[in-house]
Chains A and B, each alone.
Chain A
Amino acid sequence: MNDLEVIHCYLEFQASECFNVLYDRYAGKIYAKCISILKDEALAQDATQEVFTKIFLNLSRFKEKARFSTWVYSITYNYCIDFLRRKKKQKDLFSDELENAPDPADEEVSDKVLLEIEIKQLKKVLENIPTSDRMVLLMKYQDGMSIKEIAEILEKTESAVKMKIKRAKAKARKARDEIFPEQLV
């Protein structure tokens, strides 16, 4: 059964099997995202629980305009952004750079450079760039979200998101070059 069939089954019959299917499909991924953003196992576990509760309470509001996974991950990102905002008392996690004018010195890094980094190195690289940069890279390369979808989640313009991704890619490459200098050609 695909996600939509399971959702319809859950909404119609409230069957616990449907809950379990969706939970088993997404719990690990949501936990992984939360741990990647929040960097704490206990917080990530609590976040997973909260996010899933939100998902099931709002399941009837899922409009099927986007993929279910995109909807699930957008709830996850929003939860993490709100959590960090409350924790750091920071007005906007993404306000610092998005509002700034583009820096002409920023060099375009091709997708290939990022997609060829080994998994262990990638993990290290992502740990060493700011949370907001990590998030946009995960949205784009891990979740396959469009610029429009990312812009909707972050409540920013598409051009601001493009700039953010461009800078995040540059930071990721810089981090890779610093942590793994042997990779430099």
Chain B
Amino acid sequence: MSQTLNNFEQLLEEEASTFDVHKRQQAREGIISTLSSYKLIGQLVTVFVPDMINVLIEATGGDQTTATDDEDKTPRQGQPPHLTAPPTDSGPKPDDDFDIIR
């Protein structure tokens, strides 16, 4: 499909052709080199940052292992959940649905 270009567009095409092969190639290599550097930095960050965070957590006295004992959170056999849930100090929340004592 041919499209008629106006004089501004024709000027753009004309000026674009002054970007010769040598300059074009130089710029292309520059871009590829920069993008490769960013990619390498990204890979290094992906590999090392999680380990660095763990080291920092350990250094500050924290425990990097996370709780995985899901079975502690499940009700014991034969008991309803409200009897097996861990005790809390927070008490009932305002939104909880309680029977009103009349």
A→B interface (CB under 8 Å): 19-20, 23, 27-29, 31-33, 35-36, 45, 48-49, 52-53, 56-57, 114-119, 122-123, 126, 137-138, 141-142
B16 with A122: CB separation less than 8 A: no
CB <8 Å contact, B12 and A31: no
Q: Is the CB of A142 within 8 A of B9?
A: yes
Q: Give the chain A neighbours of B35 by CB distance below 8 A.
A: 53, 56-57
The answer for the CA separation of A116 and B7 in the assembled complex, in Å, is: 7
CB nearest to B35 among chain A residues: A56
Min CB–CB distance A56 → chain B (angstroms): 6
From residue B18, how far is it (CB to closest CB) to chain A in Å? 7
Interface centre among A32, A56, A116, A122 (most CB of B within 10 A): A32
Instruction: Say whether B16 contacts A123, CB under 8 Å.
Output: no
Q: Are B19 and A117 in contact (CB under 8 A)?
A: no
Which B residues are CB-close (under 8 A) to A48? Answer: 19, 27
Looking across the interface, which residue of chain B has its beta carbon closest to that of A31? B19
Please count how many residues in chain B sit with their CB below 8 Å of the partner chain's CB atoms: 24
B27 & A49 in contact (Cβ 8 Å cutoff): yes
Say yes or no: A122 contacts B7, CB within 8 Å: yes
Q: Given A28-B24, A45-B23: A23 and B31 within 8 A (CB)?
A: yes
Could you tell me the distance between the alpha carbons of A70 and B14 in the complex, rounded to whole angstroms?
A: 19
* Complex alpha-carbon distance, A31 and B32, angstroms: 17
- Which residues of chain B from 2 to 21 have a CB within 8 Å of any chain A CB? 6-12, 14-19
**Bound state CA distance, A79 and B90, in angstroms?**
56
Instruction: State the Cβ distance, A3 to closest chain B Cβ, in Å.
Output: 15
Whether the pair B11, A122 counts as a contact (CB closer than 8 A) is: yes
Asked whether any CB of chain A lies closer than 8 Å to the CB of B64, the reply is: no
Asked if residues A122 and B8 are in contact (CB atoms below 8 Å), the reply is yes
Least CB distance from B14 to A in Å reads 7
Q: Is the CB of A53 within 8 A of B31?
A: yes
**B28: interface (CB < 8 Å):** yes
9 additional contacts (CB under 8 A) given A32-B12, A119-B14: A27-B19, A28-B16, A31-B27, A32-B18, A49-B34, A52-B31, A56-B31, A137-B8, A142-B9
User: Which one, A19, A20, A52, A116, contacts B27 given CB within 8 A?
Assistant: A52
Among all A-B residue pairs, the 8 with the closest Cβ atoms: A28-B16, A32-B15, A142-B8, A141-B8, A31-B19, A28-B19, A32-B16, A49-B30
| Residues of B contacting A19 in the complex (Cβ-Cβ under 8 angstroms) | 32
Residue of B6, B7, B26, B35 most packed against chain A (CB within 10 A): B7
